Structure 1
Amino acid sequence: MHALLILDMQVGLVHGLDKPWRGEALLQTLNSLMDKARSAGAPIFLARHIGPVGSPIEPGSPLTMIVQELKLQGGEVVFEKRRPNAFAMTDLADNLRAHGATGVVITGMKTQYCVDSTCRAARDLGFDAVLIADGHSCSDTPVMKAQDIVAHHNATLDGPFCRLVRAEEWRF
């Protein structure tokens, strides 16, 4: 069984100054994936990235809260992380195994940080890693447009680090 993992869909990243590319479409995709996961009885995990005390994303900051556009129903596991890799210094791997998950479907933000590092780590930890091609995003950087960052990571990660699947084609 695969669990759904949604990374850092929090107020400060989704509604901050640098809006994510295709942000509204991403929210719709994630809500659809959560519906599919619930229908299949697959667990849903949501990560919130927090920073040190005194930072804008310190523990308890409203900027770290999951955006209200995601339709949570109370059965999801929400956890905090402090590193880009959602497995680092968290109990995510143990929690996935405790829920019977042998695979993890990776979505959320930001493509070049948390999505990338979590994809790379998942397979190393023995999970079948699936990246939803249209289920992650980021914002433009001074060097590259977000659309190109997403395309680059989809191409780079597919194969060595994960299986790339479009949201409409994924079945839990």
Structure 2
Amino acid sequence: MINNQTALLVIDVQNGLAQAADFNSLIAKINQRIKSYREKDQPIIFMQHTDAELPYGSPAWMLAAELAVQNEDQIFLKYHSDSFFETGLQNYLTNRQINQLEICGLQTEYCVDTAIRVGHHLGFKIKVLSGLHTTFDTPLLSAAVAIKYHEDIWNNSFAKVVQR
């Protein structure tokens, strides 16, 4: 029998990214998902990015205080956009027979997109709730357009994007 355990993967909801579009409302929505996973006793995993702009141990590097993180939650540090690269995440999931991931967080076009594509490539079933990820406005693309664009690419190719 195949175990269809799902985990919530929350990517890079950190203080240094707080200027992203709708950051505070994103945290509130993610916290609702966290609550739902806790009620079902399903795993919740947080990724925490480290680089020159989010130096290890700095205030910018810290997970947002409003995020509903608890001691029993698993936190993985990462140094690349790929949540699976040299983090131990894949082994953690495999050892617990988790084969489905719901992915949310930041940044849509970097770490979220990479986690979705790599997770799909590794054989995980991926789900994304529409709007449960965000990014920054850029001179080329607004955050809203980047989010919609990526959801259109992901849906039924790399993930199931569920409209909320």
Partner of 1:30 in structure 2? 30
- Equivalents in 2 of 1:38, 1:32: separation in Å? 10
State the SS of the aligned residue for 2:16. Answer: helix
Pairing of 1:21-170 with structure 2 (within 5 A): 21-51=21-51, 55-166=52-163, 168=164
Q: Is 2:19 aligned against 1:11?
A: no
Q: Under a length normalisation based on structure 2, what TM-score does the superposition of the two structures give?
A: 0.93
* Distance (whole Å) between structure 2 residues aligned to residue 21 and residue 63 of structure 1: 17
**What are the Cα deviations for residues 60-116 of structure 1, in whole angstroms up to 9, with x where unaligned?**
222111000112222211110011111111110111122331111100000000011
Gaps of 5+ in 2: none
* Unpaired stretches in structure 1, ≥5 consecutive residues: none
Deviations 1:144-169 (A, max 9, x none): 00000000000011111111114x5x
CA–CA distance in 2 between the matches of 1:114 and 1:136?
10
Q: Say whether the 8 Å CA contact 1:50–1:64 is kept in structure 2.
A: yes
Identity %: 28
Cα distance in 2 for partners of 1:157, 1:49 equals 22
In 2: Cα distance, 1:28 partner to 1:100 partner: 29
Give the Cα–Cα distance (whole angstroms) in 1 for the partners of residues 60 and 78 of structure 2: 14
Encode CA deviations 1:34-67: one digit per residue, 9 max, x unaligned: 001111111001011002xxx3422222211100
RMSD across aligned C-alpha pairs, in angstroms? 1.2
TM-score when normalising by structure 1:
0.89
For 2:53 and 2:101, how far apart are their aligned partners in 1? Answer: 29
State the distance in 2 between where 1:56 and 1:25 align: 23
- Equivalenced residue count is 160
Q: Quick one: which amino acid aligns to residue 13 of structure 1? A: L
Letter in 2 for 1:121: V
Is the 1:4–1:34 Cα contact (8 Å) retained in structure 2? Answer: yes
Counterpart amino acid of residue 150 in structure 1: I
